[in-house]
Structure 1
């Protein structure tokens, strides 16, 4: 059985939603036991048996996040400096179905 690990970094929650949708889409074909989805941290260890590693992260200041851009994003996320959240509703099930069609059987 193929093993897949999805690792992501997310500050606002959008990258997490996409990472989870990707993992769910792959799990449709390979089964829930074949997919691990987790937030990136220094404690994340790679499963030595994985055959596919999916890595996702947000873009900050036109590139991948860095310590300075993470601090800037966290400052912008403070309730006093930010307008109310208008997060779109999750469409992970529809996206999972579309992604599942892309995974070879």
Structure 2
């Protein structure tokens, strides 16, 4: 699911560039990365409103690859230049909810 989302994101960025004359993400055959390694996972408190802080989990990954074709090179260049994924309104990439607690109103 993660790899599919990365390819969708890079395809959207490629299409936004408007260069139809060269090969891009839809022309890559096989995986984009040869190996994906989770480097580190940690949690931080994140202030989501003036009176609410939520603990979130972040992870740092390492992606290894060897260029196999021009389409693969072009796609990797988009990934390196424009970034992988999208930032949410907190300035983070993908945010996964691990547990949920309903908010409560104070001072009402």
* Structure 1 or 2: more strand by fraction: 2
* Structure 1 or 2: more helix by fraction: 1
TM-score (norm 2): 0.28
